[in-house]
Amino acid sequence: MAVTPSNMLPLGSVAPDFTLLDTVSGKELSLAELKSDKGTVILFICNHCPYVKAVIKEIVSDCKELEKEGVRSVAIMSNDTINYPDDSFDKMIEFSNDNNFNFPYLIDETQSIAKKYDAVCTPDFFGYNNNLELQYRGRIRELKNLEPVQDGESDLLKAMKMIAKSGQGPKDQLPSMGCNIKWFKN
């Protein structure tokens, strides 16, 4: 398990478009259908990563809170499901049900969307304003030994509330850390 920090893409980068299959509804969903006029969080997660498991309850809680602010959330799973069967589509359905996802959980079978977003770890968070301009590319919160260092609102929640109100994220942002995305071997 190699700890990988997220890439800190330039703020203002426009969200790449996508259409992917959703485990929750069983339908293909596009970014255009999922975006919100207050803000959109796109998170790259998977089922088996200990970093995701450590924060999944907070992710779901934050996404529910952000929904009240008019911010939509969508999770994307881009791992190689052949060599990592715990991330299969059926296991994604289980994971979303077990954790009461209130947001779509999409599968990126070709890994092309992760590459377009320059996602490199799980979890990896991308917070966009109403124009789908990147305003946050940081962590959910600081962890030590897979445990939160402090209580209170997460960095992600605070940033996305700010984006919903002003269209801009915080100036200071710290990268997310997690397992590397499991890329297909060539």
Q: What pLDDT score does 50 carry?
A: 94
Q: Taking 80 as the threshold, does the pLDDT of residue 90 lie above it?
A: yes
Instruction: Give the pLDDT band of residue 79 (cuts 50, 70, 90).
Output: very high
- Sheet strands side by side (includes 3-5): 3-5, 177-180, 121-122
- Dmax over CA atoms of the chain, in Å, equals 44
Residues 104 and 168: their CA atoms lie apart, in Å, by: 24
| 42-55 pLDDT per residue, tens | 999 999 999 999 99
